[in-house]
Structure 1
Amino acid sequence: MQQHINEKIEQFFRDYEKRFRDGLAGNVDTASITSAFADCFIEASPLGVHCGKNDAAFREAIPKGYDFYKGIGTTKMTIGHVTITALDDLHYMALVHWQSYYTKKDQTEVTIEFDVTYFLQHRNEELKIFAYITGDEQKVLQERGLVS
């Protein structure tokens, strides 16, 4: 059973990676993106803890997020690996190692690697992100000269 859920979680994040790639290419599938999230979710970072709702405002923010990433030169985001920890029969923690690739305005290539810890609930054969923990993305983007 554990192997099955691990494969399902890995596929969940491969699909997430594909949606990001598609979004950067201008094919934003808002419905598919929002379906990966619970009705409400929590984001934690060095900037604090923020509560989000999977609502109209979230749906409206998604294309703007892709516009931001394209605007700073993001060319792709890939997953290096996913480390899964079962918390109980319904809840899982997934540490996802991402690589992000950028082309700066001077055509310099930049690669940034980072981890995001996601918390997932598996109910009714569906996985939903209900929380995630990130580093200080804006600080790293500033340090690499991608944003001012």
Structure 2
Amino acid sequence: MEDSIRRFFARYEQFFLRALAGEPDPAEVAGLYAEEFIAASPAGVKAGKNDASLIEAMRQGHAQYRAIGTRDMRVRGLRLSPIDEMHCVAHVAWRATYLRADLPETVIDFEVHYLMQQRQDGPRVFGWISGDETAVLRRHGVL
């Protein structure tokens, strides 16, 4: 399972980089997530469906990342916590780089914990847990 999860996040990283460049692939978004998923952060817990609303939320999110000067988003580390033969938590350490005319290059490291399910056609995200992104961006002067 570990190799397939590593390949998954290499693909995820490439998708994110293309989205930051203004070239998202909505079909690829749908392929990364399970039919339904949960998201948890300090703002609360939400459930969602892998449908047109997910694709639209991703488009808006990536447009916001571009607007605040996100230039790069890279996986800097990956650790797995197996649950059973089909499920694990992927602890993904990300490094984001921001640059705007009014902001010197700013690098922020953070971690997101993805709930993963291994399927016959590859892994899918069925949930994630993240910290307070807005607070971190404010603390670094990005917002």
TM-score, normalising length: structure 1: 0.92
Which residue pairs with 1:6 in the alignment?
2
| 3-state SS in 1 of match to 2:109 | strand
- Of the structure 1 ranges 73-82 and 117-126, higher mean CA displacement relative to structure 2 is found in 117-126
Cα deviation digits, residues 104-129 of structure 1 (max 9, x gap): 33241111100000011112232110
Matched, 1:127 2:120: no
C-alpha separation in 2, matches of 1:92 and 1:107? 38
Relative to the length of structure 2, the TM-score reads: 0.96
Q: Residue 92 in 1 paired to residue 64 in 2?
A: no
Q: 1:65 aligns with which of 45, 49, 61?
A: 61
Identify unmatched segments of 5+ residues in structure 2. Answer: none
Looking at structure 2, the residues matched to 6 and 121 of structure 1 have their Cα atoms a distance apart, in angstroms, of 12
Greater mean alpha carbon deviation, residues 91-100 or residues 121-130: 121-130
Matches within 5 A, 1:16-55: 16-55=12-51
C-alpha contact 1:41 1:52 (8 A) present in aligned 2: yes
Q: Deviations over 1:9-61 (max 9, x none)?
A: 00100000000001111110111012110111011111111111111111112
Q: C-alpha separation between the residues in 1 aligned to 2:52 and 2:121?
A: 25
Instruction: Work out the CA distance in 2 between the residues paired with 1:138 and 1:100.
Output: 14
The one-letter code of the counterpart of 1:38 is A
C-alpha contact 2:72 2:96 (8 A) present in aligned 1:
yes
Corresponding position: 1:76 with 2:72: yes
Q: Which amino acid aligns with 1:34?
A: A
SS in 1 for 2:126: strand
User: What's the Cα RMSD here?
Assistant: 1.0
| Alpha-carbon distance, 1:92 to partner | 1.1
Q: Of Structure 1 and Structure 2, which has the larger fraction of its residues in strand? A: 2
Deviates more, 1:53-62 or 1:127-136: 53-62
Ranges of 4+ aligned residues in structure 1 off by more than 6 Å: none
